[in-house]
Chain A
């Protein structure tokens, strides 16, 4: 069990803001690394906390089709999918501050709205080449 009773209650309150369904797609493997197991359990426990959340678990070694579909090269990997794949990936376990980021992202994806300012959207819409962002963080 990754989440304590009290945490689960707090998380339920945050996820109550969700509007549309979100699918959590998690990649692990048969012989799970420590953080692979923790991440999978965390996602399964999270998904149980909202009827708008579902979880899909795939094997990184065996489910080649799914790995290619989401274009993944490492695990644990967690993808948040709404009406489409918005390119949101968590590599490694989202713990500490990143757990709050994960919850925020779930609500954001459920609203199908990035929350970005109008000006930011305009600038991003003008991009002509693919943009790949990787934000490195540590569990604090």
Chain B
């Protein structure tokens, strides 16, 4: 957990506009809260995308 208002530079780096924002391996990936299975799928997709770049 990162408290966005206490670390404005980090929030700025990841472009935090609404919370919760989940950053996966240094890239903003999931906005909002999702059911577990969906959330995990988004995270796994973000990992693949990150590895491809």
Q: How far apart are the CA atoms of A45 and B11 in the complex, in Å?
A: 29
Q: Is the interface of B mostly helix, strand, loop or mixed?
A: mixed
Picked from B19, B24, B40, B44, the residue with its CB within 8 Å of the CB of A137 is B19
A74 adjacent to B1 (CB under 8 Å): no
Inside 8 A of B4's CB, which chain A residues have their CB? 136-138
Q: How many A residues touch B, CB cutoff 8 Å?
A: 29
- B-side interface size class: 20 to 34
B20 adjacent to A136 (CB under 8 Å): yes
Picked from A92, A98, A129, A131, the residue with its CB within 8 Å of the CB of B7 is A92
Q: Does B5 contact A (CB under 8 A)?
A: yes
A134 adjacent to B2 (CB under 8 Å): yes
A98 adjacent to B3 (CB under 8 Å): yes
